[in-house]
């Protein structure tokens, strides 16, 4: 590839092309010295780690990730906001956030000696080219977009583990890596913003100028010092669409989320009964909610990623509510054990379906709900009883 600029190239494009030419030339020389099957030695290129960073980025993209960005392992600047959020009790029953708060405030407690955090992102935006045919008289549920397929922890984790092993192999002697896919004690959205992956929007989620609101994140903490990418900054402006879109008013102010009112929390993390006052607003959402994400203007740049579609499950686009409520525990495990929906547990999932049937069901649902109203699971039975009352309120 030539470094000679064309008249149509911008300065940044010229710089990127020259950087890749320099890196490729150095890698070719390294490969020639070590042999074609040897891993490249990226630890001593003499350029401050730029070539190593770019080669790692290339490796991440080759594994199927859509983004790869770098930041330091310095403590996140807004760690105090987490402390205040926890003190307010807005985390609800997510008690692990309290137990890991100290680690989230400083990556050194997660990986002592860590100097760099490598972030990867996968777009879960998909264009629904074929909408499943559903009888207009059949009540269906809504599943959050990210959950309409195989569990991303598994297929992203497999790739991230491979990338972490590769980084360990090519890094300086003694390089250590620790990887997570949405499971580690890391303030990943703020740190991803610092890595330039996107910015934290007023709904408290990450917004990408290249992928919209639809990025799944993973990260590798490593002891290998690598140069960081430029940080991103907030670009919400005066927009408040996400605050206005929230069905339950969970976004109480810009950048402030009361999780106890959030439908994603209520239908996924909450293990007890859903507060009655919030049940009507849940509508037919049986696992998660995309409303605050979907209205963001930055979604005009959303595009499909490289690997999400192969893990999609079309039957989760508009699942039939009565069929879901009729499942037994074994059928639930068989159908959902490898999907995010398993996190709601059998009892919580049935609870959610009862609420949805009360909100959108018709007269054909009554017999099933009446049977479930005497279920041995008292929480599920109570939600079925509520659903029957809700149908009456709706004149059904």
Give the number of C-alpha atoms closer than 13 A to the C-alpha of residue 162, restricted to the C-beta side.
13
């207009």: which residue's tokens?
136
- Which candidate in 24, 182, 229, 377 is catalytic? 182
Q: How far apart are CA 297 and CA 260, in angstroms?
A: 26
User: 350: closest CA among 327, 331, 334?
Assistant: 327
128 annotated active-site: no
Q: What is the 3-state secondary structure (H, E, C) of 273-336?
A: CCCHHHHHHHCCEEECCCHHHHCCHHHHHCCCCCCHHHHECHHHCCCEHHHHHCCCHHHHHHHH
Three-state DSSP class for residue 151 = coil
């579609």: which residue's tokens?
309
Three-state DSSP class for residue 266 = helix
Handedness of CA 12, 14, 15, 21 (dihedral sign): positive
Phi, psi of 345 (to 5 degrees): 70, 160
User: 152: closest CA among 365, 323, 311, 344?
Assistant: 311
Contacts of 375 (CB under 8 A, 6+ apart): 350, 381, 384
Contacts of 343 (CB under 8 A, 6+ apart): 268
Q: How far apart are CA 117 and CA 122, in angstroms?
A: 17
285 within 8 A of 266, measured Cβ to Cβ: no
Scanning 123-278, the segments in alpha helix (DSSP H) are 152-170, 188-194, 241-245, 263-264
The neighbouring-strand residues paired with 177 are 222
Residues annotated catalytic, as ranges: 182
């Amino acid at each position: 590839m030539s470094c000679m600029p064309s008249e149509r190239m911008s300065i940044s494009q010229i710089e990127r092309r020259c950087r890749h030419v320099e890196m490729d030339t150095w890698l070719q020389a390294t490969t020639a010295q070590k042999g074609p099957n040897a891993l490249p030695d990226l630890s001593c290129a003499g350029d401050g780690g730029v070539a190593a960073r770019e080669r790692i980025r290339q490796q991440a993209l080759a594994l199927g990730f859509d983004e790869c960005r770098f930041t330091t392992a310095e403590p996140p600047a807004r760690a105090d906001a987490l402390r205040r959020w926890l003190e307010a009790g807005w985390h609800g029953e997510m008690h692990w956030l309290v137990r890991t708060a100290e680690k989230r405030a400083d990556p050194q407690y997660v990986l002592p000696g860590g100097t760099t955090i490598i972030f990867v992102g996968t777009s879960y935006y998909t264009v629904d080219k074929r909408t499943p045919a559903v009888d207009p008289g059949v009540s269906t549920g809504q599943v959050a977009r990210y959950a309409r397929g195989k569990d991303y922890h598994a297929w992203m984790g497999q790739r991230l583990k491979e990338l972490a092993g590769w980084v360990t192999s090519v890094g300086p002697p003694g390089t250590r890596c620790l990887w997570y896919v949405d499971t580690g004690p890391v303030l990943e959205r703020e740190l991803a913003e610092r890595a330039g992956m996107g910015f934290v929007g007023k709904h408290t989620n990450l917004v990408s100028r290249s992928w919209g609101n639809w990025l799944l994140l993973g990260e590798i903490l490593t002891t290998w010092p690598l140069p960081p990418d430029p940080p991103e900054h907030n670009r919400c402006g005066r927009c408040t669409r996400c605050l206005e879109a929230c069905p339950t008013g969970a976004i109480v102010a810009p950048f402030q989320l009361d999780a106890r009112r959030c439908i994603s929390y209520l239908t996924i993390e909450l293990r007890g009964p859903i507060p009655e006052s919030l049940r009507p607003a849940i509508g037919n959402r049986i696992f998660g909610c995309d409303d605050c994400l979907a209205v963001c203007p930055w979604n005009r740049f959303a595009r499909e990623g490289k690997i999400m579609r192969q893990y999609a499950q079309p039957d989760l686009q508009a699942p039939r509510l009565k069929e879901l409520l009729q499942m037994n525990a074994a059928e639930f495990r068989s159908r959902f054990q490898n999907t995010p929906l398993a996190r709601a547990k059998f009892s919580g999932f049935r609870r959610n379906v009862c609420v949805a049937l009360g909100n959108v069901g018709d007269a054909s649902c009554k017999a099933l709900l009446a049977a479930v109203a005497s279920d041995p699971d008292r929480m599920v039975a109570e939600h079925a009883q509520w659903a029957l009352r809700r149908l009456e309120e709706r004149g059904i």
